[in-house]
Every structure is written in C-alpha cells, then in structure tokens.
Amino acid sequence: MSVKIEKEQIKDKPELLLWKIAGSLGTESINDISSKFEEIINQNYKFLIAEMSNVNFISSAALGQFMGCRQMLVEKGGDMVFSGVNLDIKTKLSAMGALKIFKFYNELRTAINAYEWEVEKKPEKVYLSFPPELKFVPAVRQMVSRIAKQKGYSQRDAFRIETIVDEICNNAVEHGSVDQKKNIEATVIIGKEKIELEVVNTSDPNKIEHLKEISNSLKTLSPKHDERRGRGLALIKMLSNKLDINFSGDGTSVHVTKLREE
Amino acid sequence: MESQIELEYEDIKGHSNAKLVRFIGDLDATNVETVLEKICNLFNDGFINIVADFKKLRYVNSTGLGILLHFSKSAKEKNGSFKIANVNENVYEIIEIIGATTLLEIYDEIEEALASLK
Amino acid sequence: MNTPYKFKLKFPSDLDYIPPIRKFIAETLTVTQFTPKFAYRSEVIVDEICHNAIVHGSRSLNAEIELECEIYPDKFEFRVKDEGGKKEDLEKLKSVVKKSDVSALGLSEGNENRGLGLEIVRLLSEEIDMEIGENNKTTVRVVRKREDF
C-alpha cells in the first residue's frame, strides 16, 4: 500500500501549506514524507496542515518523520498540525504520545480558522437581532461572554464583556421606541486582541434628549448619582477602552471597543 | 477552543486496572478531542476499565455520543470495559432514541457499575 | 396568529460558535415559557443542524451560517442556511430528511458518527424539510411543537 501526498497552496496565505495525504503511512512512506518536506522547507512556508481524512494507517516511523518536520517548522517560528484524523488512528497516535506534541483538528476548516485566528489575528463577526424585551438580555449577554471564552478570553475578561453587553442591551431596550417594536441589532467583532460591540436600536423620541444628556455627561465622567442608566453607561466607559454613542434619525447606536487584558 | 468540560478521576478500591471518571459539563464537537486524549491516556496507563459517572454531564450531542461508542469499543479491544452510570434523563433520551443503549453499558447507579467490575 | 418573537443570527462557519449559540436558543426558549425539556431537545437539534451546515455545507474559507427562528406560543421554528456543500453530502441530507430508517444507519461501535446527528433531529422534530437554492445554497427548516399545548 502506498501513500499519496498532494500539496495545496491556500489562497492569500503565503506562509501556509496544505498536504492532502491519502493511503497508508507505513514505514515505507518516510521517504515520501521526507522528500516532499524537502521541497517546501527552503521556501517561505512556516505552517503546514496535514489533512488526514483519507489516511487508513500510520506507523510510528511515519509519526517520527512528522515530528522531525514539525521541529524544523517550529525553528522557523511555525508549526505543523493535523486535521481529519479518524478516531482509531487518533487513539493509536495517543499511545505514541503524539497528542501531547501535535494539535489535532476535526476538520480542515477548523484548522484553517485556527491559523487565521492565531497567526493572522483575523477577527470574526457575529450578528444577532433580537426582540426589544429585557427578558432576552441575559441570554444575549451570556452568549457573547461564552463566545469570548470559547475564543480563549479569560473568565475575568469574559465577565467584563458580559457586563458591558448587559448594560448596552438594557439601555437599548429601555430607551427603545415602545411603538415600533423593531428588533435590536447587535454585532460582535471578536479578535485575538480586542472585541468590538455595536448595538443599534430605534429610539423613543421622548427619551432621546435625555440619552444625549447622559452621553454628554460621560465625557466628563460625572454621571448623576440618581441616574441608573447614566451609571450603566459610566460602567461601560470604565470597563471598555472606547465608547461611542451616535444618534441618527430615530435610532441610537452604541459602539464599544474592549482590549483583551489577560 | 472548547466548551467547558472537566474530568475528575478517582481510584477504585480493589481494582488496580480501573478508574472512576466524573464528567462535568457538556460533551460536544468542540471538546471531544480533549476527552479522547484524557481517556486514551488512562487506557495507555493500564486503566482498561473505566467507570464514567455522568451525574454532572449536562449535555451530549451526536459527536459526543460517537466518542462514547469509541471508548466502549477501545476498552473491549483491550479486554476492558467502559461503563456509564448516573445518566440524566435528557442525555439518556439522546442515547436511547438513536438506539445506542444496547451498545453502551449503562447503569442507573454508580454502585451498580462498580459492583459489575470483574 | 400571534406575532412570534423573531431572532436572527449570522456567525462564522466554525464549530467553536455552536455551544454559545445553542445555549442562547435554549435559554431564550426557557424565558418564553417552554419547558426545560423542550429547550434541551431544541438545543440538541440546533447543535446538530448547525454542525452539519458547518462541516458539510460550507465550501469557501470565509463561509457564514445564518440561523433565523420564530418563537410562537405553541411552537418553535428555525431555519439554518449555509452556502452549500458537495452534491453527495446534499443527497445524504435529503435521504435523512425524507424519514430514513434508523437501522439503515448501520449504527455500531465501529461506525460511530455516520448520520447520527441528523437522525436525532428527525426523531425529535415534528417537521423537517430542506430547500436547495442557487449554487446549492441549502436551507434546513425545523419545526417543534410545544408538548403541553
């Protein structure tokens, strides 16, 4: 049984190479691995994804060869990871100690997403539209907090983000137009180093002047002590790195940027 | 990155090749890799009989179910066993509707699972 | 017909997003007076449909998944849209949606995952259908009716 290794360049990612591997990675395959790797080691590639969903066997010799490849890439500031390895092979690799050394991803897409996140620091966007009622705010804030934790933010950072989301959404509901009942729209742009939140709602024309007052008072960080919403916005301002409130037509948008602290 | 799952381990008196493992949290596609690694480590260390306490396992999806079936198969291949106990109603329903109750060794109580160890 | 609560979510085609989103749906159902059991089953269904859309329904690197749902007093309806997958994956999806037999899955210890997720969805839902649009863009629609209504 032989092995087939096809290399594939990923568009707009000059440092990343994909190996689509198929067949059996027996002892006889180490020459194939070695010669394919030599082709790439002197080029610009630093990161290698070995796509293994069509691999039916791996020997310890082949694994050893992969470890050597990875070591050389790590010395260049890169890495080698696996995607699509089936459970049986993964169990075998675990016995060989491979799980302690290599990262494994279920799917190729997940591996590429991880590369984009870690290396390219590419942010990701989530959009949510929800009815303007207070009872939905806890689920919204917890979702954003969980997204932050899922993407590696600390418990503490995630909690601060949750507080910010809570206060912005409460504001959006309370100052929203009672008649229109248009959904509130929230956009989260989360990156490795910061998170941005934008919440847009239609405003109650009777409350908009009041909201403008609070917004202005934030510039001097002196909200009125009896003003609950003012305290909320002040809290957002203290927990975040940038806060902008815009009033346009009959809508209000609040934009917050928070840098990752831990 | 993963949704929260934690595994806690405890030795089982009188069975040096067995381990009690408490699953805490949700078992889904984002954390099966971690769980696979941890259970494989136990198998590799000679603990071929695993008793899984699911009292605090809130949630499982088809990917999680798949890994449980895999553990069952792997344990048998080593002449061991993968036993599950204290499954909550919601998790049990998912296992049941897919017809996996006959493929997994499931006990109502942890004591029953422990008593069944050879 | 009562006006339903409407939600819309768009997120990257990445499995990392499924846990927060499925929990969001479950928690939202709970505050709209559905039982915890209903919320849990719905959570599983949303998980499996989104998982399928991500793994099988996203061709491009920067693919997005769209989830829209309506919560009525007596039912929960949602639609997951993806950009479309390979023809063979679509055929597989169609066959599950058309009420295939659980035994046809060939479930065994050595065949752990094939089709399990969608079969769980089919068994827990009152209605499930799919629509394939231009360029294989796929929408899977699921309806769950409230048990105690």
Pairing relationship of beta strands A124-130 and C5-12 according to DSSP bridges? antiparallel
Amino acid occupying residue C27? E
Q: Which CATH architecture has domain B5-113?
A: 2-Layer Sandwich (3.30)
Using CA atoms, how far apart are residues B97 and B110, in angstroms rounded to an integer?
A: 23
Query: Per residue in A5-24, pLDDT tens?
Result: 999 999 899 999 999 999 99
Would you state the pLDDT for residue C99? 62
Would you state the pLDDT for residue A135? 94
**Percent of chain C residues past pLDDT 90, beyond the cut:** 50
Structure-block tokens of residue A130: 């929800």
CB contact under 8 A, C112 and B59: no
Is there a single domain that holds both residue A57 and residue A176? no
CATH number, domain of C23, equals 3.30.565.10
CB contact under 8 A, C8 and A129: yes
Using CA atoms, how far apart are residues A98 and A104, in angstroms rounded to an integer?
A: 10
Sheet hosting strand A251-259, strand order edge to edge: A242-248, A251-259, A194-202, A184-190, A124-130, C5-12, C64-71, C75-82, C138-145, C127-132
CATH number, domain of A135, equals 3.30.565.10
Instruction: Report which of A128, A124, A98, A99 is spatially closest to residue A109, judged by C-alpha positions.
Output: A124
Q: How many CB atoms lie within 10 A of CB C119?
A: 22
Query: Per residue in A143-167, pLDDT tens?
Result: 999 999 999 999 999 999 999 999 9
- Where along chain B do its domains lie? 5-113
CATH number, domain of A103, equals 3.30.750.24
Contacts of C110 in chain B (CB under 8 A): 73
- Closest alpha carbon within chain A to C25: A139
- Location of structure tokens 């004591």: B111
Residue A215 has φ and ψ, to the nearest 5°, of -60, -40
- For residue B118, what is the DSSP state? -
Poorest-pLDDT segment among A88-102, A141-155, A221-235, C31-45: A221-235
Using CA atoms, how far apart are residues A128 and C9, in angstroms rounded to an integer?
A: 5
Contacts of B103 in chain C (CB under 8 A): 107-109
Is there a single domain that holds both residue A36 and residue A78? yes
Which domain-ending residue is among A93, A118, A143? A118
Would you state the pLDDT for residue A226? 45
Q: How would you class A260 by CB atoms within 10 Å of its CB: exposed for 0-12, middle for 13-18, buried for 19 or more?
A: middle
Domain range for A140: 124-259
CB contact under 8 A, A126 and C58: no
> Of C15, C44, C103, which is closest to B30 when you measure between CB atoms?
C15
**3-state DSSP assignment of residue A26:** coil
Angle, alpha carbons C3-A127-A257 (nearest 5°): 130
pLDDT band at A262 (very low <50, low <70, confident <90, very high): confident
Task: State the chains in contact with A (3 or more Cβ–Cβ pairs under 8 Å).
Answer: B, C
**Mean pLDDT, residues C107-126:** 70
Is the alpha carbon torsion for A87, A90, A95, A101 positive or negative? negative
Query: Per residue in A32-83, pLDDT tens?
Result: 999 999 888 878 899 999 999 999 999 999 999 999 999 999 999 999 999 9
Is there a single domain that holds both residue A111 and residue A7? yes
Contacts of A107 in chain B (CB under 8 A): none
Q: At what angle do helices C36-56 and C87-97 cross, to 10 degrees?
A: 160
Is there a single domain that holds both residue A22 and residue A136? no
Contacts of B30 in chain A (CB under 8 A): 150
- For chain A, the domain total comes to 2
Instruction: Report which of C63, C35, C67, C36 is spatially closest to residue C50, judged by C-alpha positions.
Output: C67
Would you state the pLDDT for residue C112? 44
pLDDT band at B74 (very low <50, low <70, confident <90, very high): very high
Is there a single domain that holds both residue A221 and residue A250? yes
Using CA atoms, how far apart are residues A213 and C49, in angstroms rounded to an integer?
A: 46
Amino acid occupying residue C144? R
Task: For residue B16, give every residue at least 6 positions away whose Cβ sits within 8 Å of its Cβ, in sequence order, or none.
Answer: none
- Closest alpha carbon within chain B to A96: B44
Buried b vs exposed e over A113-134: b needs ≥16 C-beta within 10 Å?
bbbbbebeeebbebbbbbbbee
Q: Name the pTM for this structure.
A: 0.90
A194 touches chain B (CB under 8 A): no
pLDDT at C119 over 90: no
Would you state the pLDDT for residue C111? 42
Angle, alpha carbons A115-A119-A120 (nearest 5°): 95
Structure-block tokens of residue A8: 């594939």
Distance of CA B64 to the CA centre of its chain: 10
Q: Which residues are registered as beta bridge partners of B23?
A: B7
- The Cα of C134 is separated from the nearest Cα of chain B by a number of Å equal to 30
B62 touches chain A (CB under 8 A): no
Contacts of A131 in chain C (CB under 8 A): 5-7
Is there a single domain that holds both residue A109 and residue A138? no
**Percent of chain A residues past pLDDT 90, beyond the cut:** 66
Is there a single domain that holds both residue A14 and residue A46? yes
Would you state the pLDDT for residue C110? 45
**Mean pLDDT, residues C26-34:** 95
Which domain-ending residue is among A83, A118, A153? A118
Q: Which of A9, A136, A183 to mutate to test the interface with C (most CBs of C within 10 A)?
A: A136
Buried b vs exposed e over A30-69: b needs ≥16 C-beta within 10 Å?
bebbeebbeebeeeebbbbbbbbeebeebbeebbebbeeb
pLDDT band at B2 (very low <50, low <70, confident <90, very high): low
pLDDT band at C102 (very low <50, low <70, confident <90, very high): very low
Is there a single domain that holds both residue A59 and residue A131? no
pLDDT at A214 over 80: no
- For chain C, the domain total comes to 1
- The Cα of A245 is separated from the nearest Cα of chain B by a number of Å equal to 33
Q: Are C97 and C111 in contact (CB under 8 A)?
A: no
pLDDT band at A179 (very low <50, low <70, confident <90, very high): low
Three-state SS sequence of A32-90 = HHHHHHHHHHCCCCCEEEEEEEEEEEECHHHHHHHHHHHHHHHHCCCEEEEECCCHHHH
